[in-house]
Structure 1
Amino acid sequence: MPPAPETVEVDFITPRHLAGGGDPAWITVPLHRACGWSHGNDPLMPRVILSSPDQKALLRLEPDPDGQWWTLHHAQEPDRPAWYASFGARTPVELIAAVTDTLTDPAPAASTPSDPYEPLRQAGWWPAHADDGFVSPDATAFVQRTGSPEDPGAWFVTAILGPDRPVWQARFSEHAPPHLITAFTRALANPEPVLRTDGPRALATRDPDIVTRNTTDVAAADVAGVLEERVRRLAGRSTPSPTPLPTDLAPQANRGRVL
Protein backbone atom coordinates (compact mmCIF):
# COMPACT_ATOMS: atom_id res chain seq x y z
CA MET A 1 0.00 0.00 0.00
CA PRO A 2 1.55 3.33 -1.02
CA PRO A 3 2.28 5.78 1.80
CA ALA A 4 -0.18 8.58 2.37
CA PRO A 5 0.88 11.85 0.76
CA GLU A 6 2.56 14.35 3.03
CA THR A 7 0.21 17.10 4.17
CA VAL A 8 0.60 20.63 5.46
CA GLU A 9 -1.70 22.41 7.88
CA VAL A 10 -3.06 25.44 6.04
CA ASP A 11 -4.96 28.34 7.57
CA PHE A 12 -7.43 30.32 5.47
CA ILE A 13 -7.60 33.80 7.00
CA THR A 14 -10.09 36.65 6.74
CA PRO A 15 -9.93 39.58 6.65
CA ARG A 16 -6.83 39.28 4.54
CA HIS A 17 -5.26 42.52 5.76
CA LEU A 18 -4.84 40.93 9.22
CA ALA A 19 -3.41 37.63 7.96
CA GLY A 20 0.25 38.56 8.48
CA GLY A 21 2.93 39.13 5.88
CA GLY A 22 3.11 35.66 4.34
CA ASP A 23 5.92 34.25 2.21
CA PRO A 24 8.01 36.90 0.37
CA ALA A 25 8.62 34.35 -2.40
CA TRP A 26 5.05 35.07 -3.57
CA ILE A 27 6.46 38.37 -4.84
CA THR A 28 10.16 37.80 -5.47
CA VAL A 29 10.09 34.46 -7.29
CA PRO A 30 7.63 35.50 -10.04
CA LEU A 31 9.43 38.82 -10.53
CA HIS A 32 12.68 36.95 -11.15
CA ARG A 33 11.46 33.88 -13.02
CA ALA A 34 8.42 35.20 -14.89
CA CYS A 35 9.21 38.89 -15.35
CA GLY A 36 12.98 38.84 -15.83
CA TRP A 37 13.93 40.98 -12.85
CA SER A 38 17.55 40.52 -11.82
CA HIS A 39 18.68 40.20 -8.23
CA GLY A 40 21.78 41.20 -6.35
CA ASN A 41 23.59 38.61 -4.29
CA ASP A 42 25.15 39.66 -1.00
CA PRO A 43 25.15 36.68 1.37
CA LEU A 44 26.35 38.89 4.22
CA MET A 45 23.26 41.12 4.12
CA PRO A 46 19.73 39.96 5.10
CA ARG A 47 18.04 41.66 2.18
CA VAL A 48 16.73 41.09 -1.33
CA ILE A 49 17.14 43.60 -4.15
CA LEU A 50 15.45 43.09 -7.52
CA SER A 51 15.70 45.39 -10.53
CA SER A 52 13.50 45.44 -13.62
CA PRO A 53 14.94 44.55 -17.04
CA ASP A 54 14.84 48.21 -18.12
CA GLN A 55 16.51 49.26 -14.84
CA LYS A 56 13.70 51.73 -14.13
CA ALA A 57 12.24 49.94 -11.12
CA LEU A 58 13.96 48.65 -7.99
CA LEU A 59 12.31 46.51 -5.32
CA ARG A 60 14.07 46.16 -1.99
CA LEU A 61 13.13 43.81 0.85
CA GLU A 62 15.13 44.75 3.91
CA PRO A 63 14.05 43.82 7.45
CA ASP A 64 14.00 47.08 9.38
CA PRO A 65 12.56 47.13 12.90
CA ASP A 66 11.99 50.87 12.66
CA GLY A 67 10.74 51.25 9.10
CA GLN A 68 9.09 49.77 6.05
CA TRP A 69 10.35 46.33 4.98
CA TRP A 70 9.42 46.61 1.32
CA THR A 71 10.26 49.61 -0.87
CA LEU A 72 9.58 50.00 -4.58
CA HIS A 73 11.27 52.87 -6.41
CA HIS A 74 10.60 53.83 -10.02
CA ALA A 75 12.63 56.25 -12.10
CA GLN A 76 11.25 59.30 -13.85
CA GLU A 77 9.54 58.77 -17.20
CA PRO A 78 8.55 61.28 -19.89
CA ASP A 79 4.97 61.46 -18.62
CA ARG A 80 5.54 60.90 -14.88
CA PRO A 81 8.02 62.02 -12.20
CA ALA A 82 9.87 59.44 -10.13
CA TRP A 83 7.72 57.70 -7.53
CA TYR A 84 7.91 55.12 -4.79
CA ALA A 85 5.78 52.82 -2.67
CA SER A 86 6.63 51.18 0.64
CA PHE A 87 5.02 48.49 2.75
CA GLY A 88 5.33 47.45 6.39
CA ALA A 89 6.49 44.00 7.48
CA ARG A 90 2.99 42.65 8.12
CA THR A 91 1.53 43.86 4.83
CA PRO A 92 0.16 40.69 3.20
CA VAL A 93 2.24 39.64 0.21
CA GLU A 94 -0.94 39.19 -1.82
CA LEU A 95 -1.58 42.95 -1.63
CA ILE A 96 1.98 43.88 -2.60
CA ALA A 97 1.90 41.32 -5.41
CA ALA A 98 -1.18 43.04 -6.83
CA VAL A 99 1.01 46.11 -7.33
CA THR A 100 4.01 44.29 -8.82
CA ASP A 101 1.78 42.14 -11.05
CA THR A 102 0.13 45.26 -12.44
CA LEU A 103 3.43 47.08 -12.83
CA THR A 104 4.91 44.22 -14.86
CA ASP A 105 1.81 43.52 -16.95
CA PRO A 106 2.87 43.92 -20.61
CA ALA A 107 -0.65 44.94 -21.59
CA PRO A 108 -1.05 48.73 -21.58
CA ALA A 109 -2.89 50.31 -18.69
CA ALA A 110 -6.49 51.32 -19.31
CA SER A 111 -6.83 54.81 -20.71
CA THR A 112 -9.66 55.68 -18.31
CA PRO A 113 -8.53 57.22 -14.99
CA SER A 114 -8.33 54.84 -12.04
CA ASP A 115 -9.99 55.72 -8.74
CA PRO A 116 -8.35 53.82 -5.86
CA TYR A 117 -11.43 54.43 -3.72
CA GLU A 118 -13.82 52.68 -6.14
CA PRO A 119 -13.03 49.06 -5.10
CA LEU A 120 -13.58 50.12 -1.49
CA ARG A 121 -16.98 51.66 -2.25
CA GLN A 122 -18.03 48.50 -4.07
CA ALA A 123 -16.95 46.37 -1.09
CA GLY A 124 -19.05 48.34 1.38
CA TRP A 125 -16.34 50.48 2.95
CA TRP A 126 -17.66 53.75 4.34
CA PRO A 127 -16.32 57.30 4.12
CA ALA A 128 -14.32 58.48 7.09
CA HIS A 129 -15.85 61.47 8.82
CA ALA A 130 -12.76 62.99 10.44
CA ASP A 131 -10.46 62.67 7.43
CA ASP A 132 -10.84 62.25 3.70
CA GLY A 133 -10.70 58.52 3.09
CA PHE A 134 -12.50 55.19 3.52
CA VAL A 135 -12.71 52.78 6.45
CA SER A 136 -13.35 49.03 6.28
CA PRO A 137 -16.68 47.75 7.67
CA ASP A 138 -14.89 46.29 10.72
CA ALA A 139 -12.88 49.51 11.25
CA THR A 140 -9.53 47.69 11.06
CA ALA A 141 -8.27 49.29 7.83
CA PHE A 142 -8.18 52.87 6.60
CA VAL A 143 -7.27 54.35 3.21
CA GLN A 144 -6.54 58.04 2.83
CA ARG A 145 -5.02 60.46 0.35
CA THR A 146 -3.36 63.50 1.86
CA GLY A 147 -3.39 66.98 0.41
CA SER A 148 -6.32 68.55 -1.41
CA PRO A 149 -8.06 68.11 -4.77
CA GLU A 150 -6.04 71.06 -6.04
CA ASP A 151 -2.75 69.77 -4.61
CA PRO A 152 -3.05 66.00 -4.00
CA GLY A 153 -0.42 64.29 -1.90
CA ALA A 154 0.62 60.78 -0.91
CA TRP A 155 -1.66 57.81 -0.24
CA PHE A 156 -1.62 55.94 3.07
CA VAL A 157 -3.19 52.55 3.77
CA THR A 158 -3.16 51.51 7.42
CA ALA A 159 -4.28 48.32 9.17
CA ILE A 160 -5.06 48.78 12.85
CA LEU A 161 -6.49 46.96 15.85
CA GLY A 162 -7.26 50.15 17.74
CA PRO A 163 -6.25 53.81 18.03
CA ASP A 164 -2.78 52.95 19.33
CA ARG A 165 -2.37 49.49 17.78
CA PRO A 166 -1.11 49.83 14.19
CA VAL A 167 -0.44 46.57 12.36
CA TRP A 168 1.10 47.78 9.09
CA GLN A 169 1.08 50.73 6.74
CA ALA A 170 1.51 51.07 2.99
CA ARG A 171 2.54 54.37 1.44
CA PHE A 172 2.36 55.54 -2.16
CA SER A 173 4.04 58.78 -3.13
CA GLU A 174 2.02 61.54 -4.78
CA HIS A 175 3.18 60.58 -8.29
CA ALA A 176 2.57 56.82 -7.99
CA PRO A 177 0.39 55.63 -10.92
CA PRO A 178 -3.26 55.52 -9.80
CA HIS A 179 -3.88 52.16 -11.48
CA LEU A 180 -1.22 50.57 -9.25
CA ILE A 181 -2.82 52.01 -6.12
CA THR A 182 -6.19 50.77 -7.38
CA ALA A 183 -4.72 47.28 -7.80
CA PHE A 184 -3.67 47.44 -4.15
CA THR A 185 -7.05 48.63 -2.87
CA ARG A 186 -8.85 46.04 -5.00
CA ALA A 187 -6.75 43.27 -3.43
CA LEU A 188 -7.28 44.84 0.00
CA ALA A 189 -11.07 44.85 -0.38
CA ASN A 190 -11.23 41.30 -1.77
CA PRO A 191 -13.31 39.23 0.69
CA GLU A 192 -11.64 35.95 -0.28
CA PRO A 193 -9.37 34.44 2.40
CA VAL A 194 -5.62 34.11 1.99
CA LEU A 195 -3.74 30.99 2.98
CA ARG A 196 -0.96 30.80 5.53
CA THR A 197 1.19 27.85 6.57
CA ASP A 198 3.09 29.40 9.49
CA GLY A 199 0.39 28.93 12.11
CA PRO A 200 -1.37 31.55 14.20
CA ARG A 201 1.81 33.18 15.52
CA ALA A 202 2.00 35.51 12.50
CA LEU A 203 -1.53 36.82 12.97
CA ALA A 204 -1.99 40.36 14.20
CA THR A 205 -4.58 39.03 16.64
CA ARG A 206 -6.22 35.71 17.46
CA ASP A 207 -9.44 37.35 18.56
CA PRO A 208 -12.17 35.31 16.79
CA ASP A 209 -14.40 38.37 16.73
CA ILE A 210 -11.85 40.09 14.46
CA VAL A 211 -10.07 37.33 12.52
CA THR A 212 -11.58 34.15 11.10
CA ARG A 213 -9.16 31.22 10.82
CA ASN A 214 -10.25 28.02 9.10
CA THR A 215 -7.65 25.27 9.25
CA THR A 216 -7.39 22.22 7.01
CA ASP A 217 -4.77 19.70 5.92
CA VAL A 218 -3.65 20.10 2.31
CA ALA A 219 -1.26 17.92 0.32
CA ALA A 220 2.23 19.45 0.50
CA ALA A 221 2.60 19.10 -3.27
CA ASP A 222 -0.56 21.14 -3.80
CA VAL A 223 0.69 23.91 -1.50
CA ALA A 224 4.01 24.08 -3.36
CA GLY A 225 2.19 23.99 -6.69
CA VAL A 226 0.30 27.22 -5.98
CA LEU A 227 3.46 29.31 -6.39
CA GLU A 228 4.54 27.38 -9.49
CA GLU A 229 1.15 27.97 -11.08
CA ARG A 230 1.44 31.66 -10.29
CA VAL A 231 4.84 31.80 -12.00
CA ARG A 232 3.46 30.02 -15.09
CA ARG A 233 0.46 32.31 -15.28
CA LEU A 234 2.54 35.49 -15.09
CA ALA A 235 5.10 34.15 -17.53
CA GLY A 236 2.28 33.43 -19.98
CA ARG A 237 1.27 37.06 -20.22
CA SER A 238 2.28 38.59 -23.51
CA THR A 239 2.27 41.98 -25.14
CA PRO A 240 -0.88 42.42 -27.26
CA SER A 241 -0.28 42.11 -30.98
CA PRO A 242 -0.24 45.45 -32.79
CA THR A 243 -3.29 46.33 -34.83
CA PRO A 244 -2.61 45.31 -38.44
CA LEU A 245 -2.30 48.08 -40.99
CA PRO A 246 -5.12 48.45 -43.52
CA THR A 247 -4.40 46.49 -46.68
CA ASP A 248 -4.00 49.58 -48.82
CA LEU A 249 -1.39 50.99 -46.39
CA ALA A 250 0.63 47.86 -45.73
CA PRO A 251 4.02 47.73 -47.47
CA GLN A 252 4.11 45.44 -50.49
CA ALA A 253 7.57 43.98 -50.75
CA ASN A 254 6.99 42.36 -54.12
CA ARG A 255 5.57 45.36 -55.90
CA GLY A 256 7.59 46.02 -59.06
CA ARG A 257 9.14 49.36 -59.83
CA VAL A 258 7.51 51.54 -62.45
CA LEU A 259 10.07 52.92 -64.92
Structure 2
Amino acid sequence: MPLSERQLAAFADKHGGQIPFDTSPRHLAGPGDARHVTHGLAAAGWTRTSDPLSAEIILASPDHRHRLQFDPQSATSAWWRLRAEPADTSPGWYAEFGAFVPAEVLAGLTDALVAPTPAEPVSPLPVLEAAGWLIDGRGAADSNPPGCRVERHPAQDRGTVPWREAGRASWHVEVRDSPDAFVGGPRLWHAFLDDAVPEHLVTAFVTALADTAPLQRGMFDPTARHGVVQEPSPLTPQQTVDAYLARVKDLRSQARAAHRQTKSPVPPARAATTQPAPRR
Protein backbone atom coordinates (compact mmCIF):
# COMPACT_ATOMS: atom_id res chain seq x y z
CA MET A 1 0.00 0.00 0.00
CA PRO A 2 1.49 3.38 -1.00
CA LEU A 3 1.97 6.20 1.47
CA SER A 4 -1.42 7.83 1.99
CA GLU A 5 -2.44 11.41 2.70
CA ARG A 6 -3.99 10.19 5.94
CA GLN A 7 -0.62 8.86 7.12
CA LEU A 8 1.10 12.13 6.27
CA ALA A 9 -1.65 14.05 8.05
CA ALA A 10 -1.08 11.94 11.18
CA PHE A 11 2.62 12.89 11.18
CA ALA A 12 1.76 16.56 10.62
CA ASP A 13 -0.80 16.47 13.42
CA LYS A 14 1.73 15.17 15.93
CA HIS A 15 4.66 17.39 15.02
CA GLY A 16 2.58 20.45 14.16
CA GLY A 17 1.51 20.66 17.78
CA GLN A 18 4.93 19.99 19.29
CA ILE A 19 7.41 22.76 20.07
CA PRO A 20 10.75 21.73 18.47
CA PHE A 21 14.04 21.86 20.34
CA ASP A 22 17.33 21.94 18.45
CA THR A 23 19.20 18.86 19.70
CA SER A 24 22.87 18.13 19.14
CA PRO A 25 25.17 16.36 18.59
CA ARG A 26 23.14 14.13 16.36
CA HIS A 27 24.42 10.82 17.70
CA LEU A 28 23.02 11.72 21.14
CA ALA A 29 19.68 13.07 19.94
CA GLY A 30 17.69 9.89 20.54
CA PRO A 31 15.58 7.86 18.11
CA GLY A 32 13.05 10.50 17.08
CA ASP A 33 10.15 9.46 14.85
CA ALA A 34 10.63 6.19 12.94
CA ARG A 35 8.42 7.54 10.16
CA HIS A 36 11.40 9.54 8.88
CA VAL A 37 12.57 6.15 7.58
CA THR A 38 9.36 4.24 6.87
CA HIS A 39 7.49 7.09 5.17
CA GLY A 40 10.49 7.81 2.97
CA LEU A 41 10.63 4.23 1.73
CA ALA A 42 6.86 4.02 1.29
CA ALA A 43 6.98 7.20 -0.81
CA ALA A 44 9.57 5.46 -2.99
CA GLY A 45 7.25 2.52 -3.61
CA TRP A 46 8.20 0.11 -0.82
CA THR A 47 5.29 -1.89 0.56
CA ARG A 48 4.53 -3.34 3.98
CA THR A 49 4.57 -7.15 4.04
CA SER A 50 4.10 -7.64 7.80
CA ASP A 51 0.89 -7.85 9.82
CA PRO A 52 -0.66 -4.33 9.86
CA LEU A 53 -1.73 -4.87 13.49
CA SER A 54 1.76 -5.86 14.64
CA ALA A 55 4.31 -3.50 16.18
CA GLU A 56 6.87 -5.03 13.82
CA ILE A 57 7.13 -3.38 10.41
CA ILE A 58 8.64 -5.13 7.39
CA LEU A 59 8.93 -3.17 4.15
CA ALA A 60 9.99 -4.65 0.80
CA SER A 61 11.34 -2.76 -2.21
CA PRO A 62 9.38 -2.86 -5.48
CA ASP A 63 11.82 -5.39 -6.95
CA HIS A 64 11.75 -7.45 -3.70
CA ARG A 65 15.53 -7.36 -3.48
CA HIS A 66 15.71 -5.15 -0.38
CA ARG A 67 13.91 -5.60 2.91
CA LEU A 68 13.77 -3.38 5.99
CA GLN A 69 12.65 -4.76 9.35
CA PHE A 70 11.80 -2.52 12.31
CA ASP A 71 11.03 -4.41 15.52
CA PRO A 72 10.69 -2.24 18.65
CA GLN A 73 9.99 -5.42 20.65
CA SER A 74 13.22 -7.12 19.60
CA ALA A 75 15.03 -9.05 22.32
CA THR A 76 18.34 -7.94 20.82
CA SER A 77 19.97 -4.50 20.71
CA ALA A 78 19.19 -4.18 16.98
CA TRP A 79 15.74 -2.79 16.25
CA TRP A 80 16.44 -2.02 12.58
CA ARG A 81 17.66 -4.61 10.07
CA LEU A 82 18.24 -3.97 6.38
CA ARG A 83 18.98 -6.78 3.92
CA ALA A 84 19.71 -7.03 0.22
CA GLU A 85 19.44 -10.29 -1.71
CA PRO A 86 22.24 -11.16 -4.16
CA ALA A 87 21.77 -9.89 -7.72
CA ASP A 88 23.42 -10.83 -11.00
CA THR A 89 26.15 -8.21 -10.68
CA SER A 90 26.28 -7.54 -6.92
CA PRO A 91 26.37 -9.63 -3.73
CA GLY A 92 23.81 -9.64 -0.96
CA TRP A 93 24.48 -7.59 2.16
CA TYR A 94 23.23 -6.93 5.67
CA ALA A 95 23.14 -3.95 8.04
CA GLU A 96 21.64 -3.43 11.49
CA PHE A 97 21.11 -0.47 13.79
CA GLY A 98 20.36 -0.12 17.48
CA ALA A 99 17.18 1.27 19.03
CA PHE A 100 18.64 4.71 19.79
CA VAL A 101 19.90 5.45 16.28
CA PRO A 102 18.35 8.78 15.20
CA ALA A 103 15.75 8.07 12.54
CA GLU A 104 16.94 11.07 10.51
CA VAL A 105 20.47 9.62 10.39
CA LEU A 106 19.25 6.21 9.27
CA ALA A 107 17.06 7.99 6.71
CA GLY A 108 20.26 9.40 5.20
CA LEU A 109 21.11 5.83 4.21
CA THR A 110 17.63 4.73 3.13
CA ASP A 111 17.11 7.89 1.07
CA ALA A 112 20.40 7.15 -0.71
CA LEU A 113 19.25 3.57 -1.28
CA VAL A 114 16.23 4.67 -3.31
CA ALA A 115 18.04 7.53 -5.09
CA PRO A 116 20.21 7.06 -8.20
CA THR A 117 23.69 5.75 -7.41
CA PRO A 118 26.31 8.52 -7.67
CA ALA A 119 28.79 8.17 -10.51
CA GLU A 120 31.79 8.72 -8.22
CA PRO A 121 31.10 7.60 -4.62
CA VAL A 122 33.05 9.28 -1.81
CA SER A 123 34.72 7.18 0.91
CA PRO A 124 33.33 7.46 4.46
CA LEU A 125 36.47 8.43 6.41
CA PRO A 126 37.35 11.57 4.39
CA VAL A 127 33.80 12.80 5.02
CA LEU A 128 34.26 12.39 8.77
CA GLU A 129 37.70 14.00 8.71
CA ALA A 130 36.31 17.01 6.83
CA ALA A 131 33.61 17.29 9.52
CA GLY A 132 36.27 17.63 12.23
CA TRP A 133 36.31 14.05 13.48
CA LEU A 134 39.64 12.65 14.68
CA ILE A 135 41.15 9.87 12.55
CA ASP A 136 43.64 7.60 14.32
CA GLY A 137 46.43 5.50 12.83
CA ARG A 138 44.15 2.47 12.40
CA GLY A 139 41.62 4.38 10.34
CA ALA A 140 39.01 4.74 13.10
CA ALA A 141 37.14 8.05 13.41
CA ASP A 142 36.07 9.61 16.72
CA SER A 143 33.61 12.44 17.09
CA ASN A 144 34.81 15.67 18.64
CA PRO A 145 34.02 15.75 21.55
CA PRO A 146 34.28 11.94 21.89
CA GLY A 147 31.30 9.67 22.25
CA CYS A 148 30.83 8.21 18.78
CA ARG A 149 33.31 6.01 16.93
CA VAL A 150 33.20 4.83 13.31
CA GLU A 151 35.60 2.04 12.43
CA ARG A 152 36.16 -0.46 9.65
CA HIS A 153 37.02 -3.89 10.99
CA PRO A 154 39.11 -6.29 8.86
CA ALA A 155 37.82 -9.69 7.82
CA GLN A 156 37.56 -12.18 10.69
CA ASP A 157 37.95 -15.96 10.82
CA ARG A 158 34.75 -17.92 11.20
CA GLY A 159 34.25 -19.42 14.62
CA THR A 160 35.95 -16.55 16.48
CA VAL A 161 33.32 -13.82 16.00
CA PRO A 162 29.50 -13.61 15.67
CA TRP A 163 28.16 -15.09 12.43
CA ARG A 164 27.29 -11.72 10.94
CA GLU A 165 30.92 -10.53 11.22
CA ALA A 166 32.60 -13.68 9.95
CA GLY A 167 34.31 -13.97 6.61
CA ARG A 168 34.57 -10.36 5.48
CA ALA A 169 35.30 -6.84 6.65
CA SER A 170 32.62 -4.62 8.10
CA TRP A 171 31.86 -1.11 9.30
CA HIS A 172 31.02 -0.53 12.97
CA VAL A 173 29.54 2.51 14.68
CA GLU A 174 29.32 2.71 18.47
CA VAL A 175 27.84 5.50 20.57
CA ARG A 176 28.26 5.78 24.33
CA ASP A 177 26.57 8.01 26.89
CA SER A 178 29.17 9.26 29.34
CA PRO A 179 29.47 12.20 31.76
CA ASP A 180 33.21 12.25 31.01
CA ALA A 181 34.41 12.71 27.45
CA PHE A 182 37.40 10.44 28.12
CA VAL A 183 35.65 7.62 30.00
CA GLY A 184 33.39 5.25 28.07
CA GLY A 185 29.88 5.01 29.49
CA PRO A 186 27.02 2.62 28.68
CA ARG A 187 26.41 1.99 25.01
CA LEU A 188 23.48 3.93 23.58
CA TRP A 189 23.35 2.39 20.14
CA HIS A 190 25.44 0.67 17.50
CA ALA A 191 25.44 0.13 13.76
CA PHE A 192 26.91 -2.77 11.80
CA LEU A 193 27.27 -2.71 8.00
CA ASP A 194 28.99 -5.61 6.30
CA ASP A 195 31.62 -4.93 3.68
CA ALA A 196 29.25 -5.66 0.79
CA VAL A 197 27.04 -2.70 1.67
CA PRO A 198 27.61 -0.27 -1.25
CA GLU A 199 30.15 2.38 -0.29
CA HIS A 200 27.85 5.28 -1.18
CA LEU A 201 25.31 3.99 1.37
CA VAL A 202 27.92 3.83 4.14
CA THR A 203 29.03 7.35 3.20
CA ALA A 204 25.44 8.60 3.21
CA PHE A 205 24.97 7.23 6.72
CA VAL A 206 28.12 8.79 8.19
CA THR A 207 27.45 12.06 6.36
CA ALA A 208 24.07 12.32 8.08
CA LEU A 209 25.69 11.26 11.36
CA ALA A 210 28.45 13.91 11.22
CA ASP A 211 26.20 16.74 10.02
CA THR A 212 26.45 19.58 12.54
CA ALA A 213 22.90 20.75 11.90
CA PRO A 214 20.78 19.94 14.98
CA LEU A 215 17.86 17.54 14.93
CA GLN A 216 14.46 18.64 16.18
CA ARG A 217 13.05 16.88 19.24
CA GLY A 218 10.05 17.44 21.46
CA MET A 219 10.43 18.46 25.08
CA PHE A 220 9.87 14.94 26.42
CA ASP A 221 11.45 12.90 23.63
CA PRO A 222 14.12 10.46 24.86
CA THR A 223 17.72 11.60 24.30
CA ALA A 224 21.12 10.81 25.81
CA ARG A 225 21.51 11.80 29.47
CA HIS A 226 25.02 13.24 29.11
CA GLY A 227 26.55 15.48 26.47
CA VAL A 228 23.36 16.29 24.62
CA VAL A 229 22.50 19.97 24.16
CA GLN A 230 18.95 21.20 23.63
CA GLU A 231 17.84 24.74 22.85
CA PRO A 232 14.54 26.19 21.63
CA SER A 233 14.57 25.94 17.85
CA PRO A 234 14.18 29.01 15.64
CA LEU A 235 11.96 26.81 13.45
CA THR A 236 8.22 26.82 14.00
CA PRO A 237 6.37 23.49 14.26
CA GLN A 238 4.84 24.15 10.83
CA GLN A 239 8.28 24.71 9.29
CA THR A 240 9.49 21.32 10.56
CA VAL A 241 6.39 19.66 9.12
CA ASP A 242 6.76 21.49 5.78
CA ALA A 243 10.41 20.38 5.47
CA TYR A 244 9.37 16.80 6.14
CA LEU A 245 6.56 16.85 3.58
CA ALA A 246 8.88 18.41 0.97
CA ARG A 247 11.39 15.60 1.48
CA VAL A 248 8.70 12.92 1.11
CA LYS A 249 7.39 14.61 -2.03
CA ASP A 250 10.91 14.70 -3.50
CA LEU A 251 11.46 10.99 -2.80
CA ARG A 252 8.14 10.18 -4.43
CA SER A 253 9.10 12.20 -7.52
CA GLN A 254 12.50 10.48 -7.74
CA ALA A 255 10.86 7.06 -7.56
CA ARG A 256 8.37 7.90 -10.28
CA ALA A 257 11.11 9.26 -12.53
CA ALA A 258 13.20 6.12 -12.01
CA HIS A 259 10.17 3.96 -12.77
CA ARG A 260 9.57 5.79 -16.05
CA GLN A 261 13.22 5.31 -17.05
CA THR A 262 13.15 1.55 -16.42
CA LYS A 263 9.90 0.90 -18.26
CA SER A 264 10.45 -0.85 -21.57
CA PRO A 265 9.93 1.43 -24.55
CA VAL A 266 6.84 0.75 -26.62
CA PRO A 267 7.87 -0.86 -29.93
CA PRO A 268 7.03 1.25 -32.98
CA ALA A 269 3.95 0.25 -34.92
CA ARG A 270 4.58 -1.74 -38.05
CA ALA A 271 4.07 0.12 -41.27
CA ALA A 272 1.15 -1.21 -43.25
CA THR A 273 2.20 -3.03 -46.41
CA THR A 274 0.40 -2.16 -49.59
CA GLN A 275 -1.15 -5.16 -51.28
CA PRO A 276 -1.29 -5.21 -55.07
CA ALA A 277 -4.71 -4.80 -56.54
CA PRO A 278 -6.22 -8.10 -57.63
CA ARG A 279 -6.37 -8.77 -61.38
CA ARG A 280 -9.70 -8.72 -63.05
Q: 1:104 aligns with which of 114, 118, 133?
A: 114
Q: Do 2:117 and 2:200's aligned partners in 1 also have CA atoms closer than 8 Å?
A: no
Answering whether residue 35 of structure 2 is matched by residue 19 of structure 1, we say: no
Counterpart code for 2:62: P
Question: Residue 31 of structure 1: CA displacement?
Answer: 1.1
The answer on 1:225 being equivalent to 2:242 is: yes
**Deviation at residue 44 of structure 1 after TM alignment:** 4.7
Within 5 Å, which residues of 2 pair with 1:59-78?
59-63=68-72, 64-78=74-88
Q: 1:134 to 1:223 in 2, by over 3 A?
A: closer
CA distance in 1, matches of 2:236, 2:33: 18
Do the aligned residues in 2 keep the contact of 1:7 with 1:218 (CA within 8 Å)?
A: no
Query: Using the alignment, how far apart are the partners of 1:72 and 1:133 within structure 2?
Result: 24
Please give the per-residue CA displacement for 1:206-230, whole angstroms capped at 9, x wherever unaligned. x4xx222112486554443332222
Q: Choose from 45, 48, 62 the match for 2:54.
A: 45
What is the RMSD of the two structures over their aligned residues, measured on CA atoms?
2.6
Partner of 1:168: 189
- Find the residue that maps to 1:236 and give its secondary structure: helix
Q: Separation in 2 of the partners of 1:91 and 1:84?
A: 17
After TM superposition, the structure 1 = structure 2 runs for residues 238-253 of structure 1, keeping only pairs within 5 Å, are 238-239=257-258
Corresponding residue SS for 1:12 = strand
CA gap of 1:179–1:159, structure 2 versus 1, over 3 A, is same
Alpha-carbon distance in structure 1 between the residues aligned to 2:212 and 2:238: 26
Task: Give 1:60 shift.
Answer: 0.5
Alpha carbons of structure 1 residues 220 and 211: separation in structure 2 relative to 1, 3 Å: closer
The answer to which structure has the higher strand fraction is 1
Q: What is the distance in 1 between the residues matched to 2:192 and 2:63?
A: 24
Length, aligned pairs only: 231
Displacement of 1:138: 0.6
Alignment deviations for residues 57-112 of structure 1 (CA, whole Å, 9 cap, x no partner): 0001001242200000001122321101111111011111111111101x2332x3
Structure 1 position 200, deviation (Å): 4.4
SS of the residue corresponding to residue 185 of structure 1 reads helix
Report the Cα distance in structure 2 between the residues aligned to 1:44 and 1:35, rounded to whole angstroms.
23
- Aligned: 1:133 with 2:143: no
CA distance in 2, matches of 1:31, 1:241: 18
1:58 to 44, 53, 67: 67
Deviation at 1:159, TM superposition (A): 1.1
Q: Which runs of structure 2 are paired with 1:64-213 in the superposition (5 Å)? A: 64-105=74-115, 107-110=116-119, 112-128=120-136, 131-147=138-154, 153-162=169-178, 163-197=184-218, 199-205=219-225, 207=226, 210-213=227-230
Structure 2 distance, partners of 1:7, 1:28, is 21
Pair 1:39–1:138, CA change in 2 (3 A) = same
| Equivalent position amino acid for 2:125 in 1 | Y
- TM-score in terms of structure 2 length: 0.74
Contact 1:12 1:214 (8 Å CA) reproduced? yes
- Between the aligned partners of 1:71 and 1:192, the Cα distance in structure 2 is 26
Is there any run of 5+ residues in structure 1 with no aligned partner, and where?
1-5, 243-250, 255-259
Distance 1:47 1:133, change over 3 A: same
> Which TM-score applies when normalising by structure 1?
0.80
Specify whether residues 91 and 233 from structure 1 end up closer, same or farther in structure 2 by C-alpha distance, changes over 3 A only.
same
Q: Aligned partners of 2:68 and 2:260: how far apart in 1?
A: 29
The aligned amino acid for 2:223 is L
**Structure 2, unaligned runs of 5 or more:** 1-15, 156-166, 179-183, 262-267, 272-280
Structure 1 equivalent of residue 161 of structure 2: none
Percent identity (aligned)? 30
